[in-house]
Amino acid sequence: MATTVAVIQKPPVLLQRDATLQRMLDAVDEAAGAGATLLVFPEAYIPGYPTWIWRLAPGGDMALTSELHARLRENAVDLGGDTLAPIQEAAARHGVTLVTGLNEIDSRYSGTTLFNSVVVIGPDGRLLNRHRKLMPTNPERMVWGMGDASGLKVVETPAGRLGTLICWESYMPLARYALYAQDLEVFINPTWDSSDIALASLRHIAREGGCWVIGRSTALRGSDIPASFPERDRLYTPEEWVNVGNAVVIAPSGEVVAGPLDREKGILYAEIEVETARRARRSLDVCGHYARPDIFSLSVNRNPQPPVVFTEA
């Protein structure tokens, strides 16, 4: 049975969580109205990817960096609260599976550290999985902490068995293999990287894993950044494309079947079929008949890695 996928690359309202959530609700209504039942949003979508880290100097722009980080922290998502309730209710109302990136705040321990996370919300509105990016990329390490493997899971959805890696995690062979070994059928890569090299990598993953691949970046122009953004006009020009988007859907053969959606703030639609993934693994199944467990082995520590463990006397 085919599933209609909606890959949403409309920009968030940068550093404004509630406004971004409303924009998501509008997109959910639009995509569900078009018949989509699997909806995918970009990396760190709530309240937006911290694109400024690629433009600010580590020393000379420290004050501005501090102010922007404070605003990001104030607008981050506490998964222990009810911030995502409107999105979960919308998913349940429309009966859709929803995948979105977000800036997650650690409210349990430090109350301050942020994580680059992706969540999967099921068609009943339940949170099916939360994965934190294992290794933030380059200057991202000044924004986000490192995640653990407690969310390195594939979950059952009406669209198929679905797993996620964020941006350059897709370059981590062992992380990919950990998902392949869980009967992965749909691989979702919320990302900031909209390059041709990233597209080539996603095509390779589709062929390697025998799975559908959905790649998502954010289509963002300078004019989309709110006027309240500190020193906006120094960092961005209204007409520039900060990110061109390039949403894409790739079949298990490695063939691009939809997109890339370039320089367009819209929704990319495609149909995917789980059976196609299963047939692709007849000739190449890297965790099945192509595996050599007598030679290679992989161990994944899924235990959460809290900074402190309290014991009672």
Helices 173-180 + 196-209 axis angle, to 10: 40
**Whole-angstrom distance, CA of residue 90 vs CA of residue 98:** 10
Is 211 assigned a catalytic role? no
**Whole-angstrom distance, CA of residue 4 vs CA of residue 269:** 7
User: Which one from 43, 104, 140, 169 is the annotated catalytic residue?
Assistant: 43
Count H helices, E strands: the chain? 7, 13
Bridge partners (DSSP) of residue 165 are: none
Is 287 assigned a catalytic role? no
For 304, phi then psi, to 5°, come to: -60, 150
User: Which one from 10, 104, 133, 140 is the annotated catalytic residue?
Assistant: 133
Which of 218, 154, 221, 176 lies closest to 7 in space, CA to CA?
218
**How far, in Å, are 14, 61, 139, 159 from residue 234 at the CA level?**
16, 12, 20, 44
User: Which one from 10, 167, 185, 287 is the annotated catalytic residue?
Assistant: 167
For 243, phi then psi, to 5°, come to: -150, 135
**Whole-angstrom distance, CA of residue 36 vs CA of residue 312:** 49
Specify whether the CB–CB gap between 212 and 249 falls below 8 A: yes
**Whole-angstrom distance, CA of residue 112 vs CA of residue 275:** 44
Instruction: Give the residue numbers marked as catalytic.
Output: 43, 133, 167
